[in-house]
Amino acid sequence: MEKLRILFLCTGNSCRSQMAEGWARVLKGDAIEPYSAGIEKHGLNQHAVRVMREAGVDISGHRSKLVSELKGIRFDYVVTVCGHANENCPVFPGKTKKIHVGFDDPPRLAANAATEEEALGHYRRVRDEIRAFVAGLTGNLDRND
């Protein structure tokens, strides 16, 4: 059976969608061919890289991408991981299904942190929430639903 092609979409493809792609590669690589992109490019968030590395997942080689850079790839699912991307999600051709699972925005939450460790706590919490979502992902998806 072919792997499900899943695009994790966020506003800037800098943090949440990157973490989701990283978790999907590690946890579900046998069933999912994951991608991530944004409706804008904000660059790869180094705090996200750090907390993913702490969890044993290296996303340091990822880069921020626009959806248009993935043109020609037929996705089975697009998973929007932030409200802005959900509201501004482009239309995908064919039978692509869209799912919205909103996660808090770690950079926004960390903006008022008193210390770097406090800021990283927000990233870790969201990282772990994304991990839990991805871990249960394929059980809820079907190419023919």
- Tens of pLDDT, residue by residue over 19-71, are 999 999 999 999 999 999 998 999 999 999 999 999 999 999 999 999 999 98
For helices 116-135 and 46-54, angle between their N-to-C axes, nearest 10 degrees: 70
**Would you state the pLDDT for residue 145?**
41
Domain span including residue 87: 4-137
Q: Which residues are catalytic?
A: 10, 82, 89
Asked whether residue 144 is assigned to any structural domain, the reply reads no
Please report which helix (H) or strand (E) contains residue 38, including its range.
strand 32-38
pLDDT for 89 equals 76
**C-alpha dihedral sign at 96, 88, 86, 52:** positive
Determine contact, residues 9/81, Cβ cutoff 8 Å.
yes
3-class secondary-structure state, position 76: coil
- CATH number at 85 reads 3.40.50.2300
Q: Chain-wide mean pLDDT for the chain?
A: 91
The answer as to whether 143 is a domain residue is: no
Residue at token pair 């639903």: 145
For residue 142, being part of any structural domain is answered with no
| Average pLDDT value for residue range 96-115 | 94
Please state the domain count of the chain: 1
Q: Is residue 37 part of a domain?
A: yes
pTM of the full structure: 0.92
* 63: in domain: yes
Rounded CA-CA distance 67/38 in Å is 6
Strand order, beta sheet including 97-100:
32-38, 4-10, 77-80, 97-100
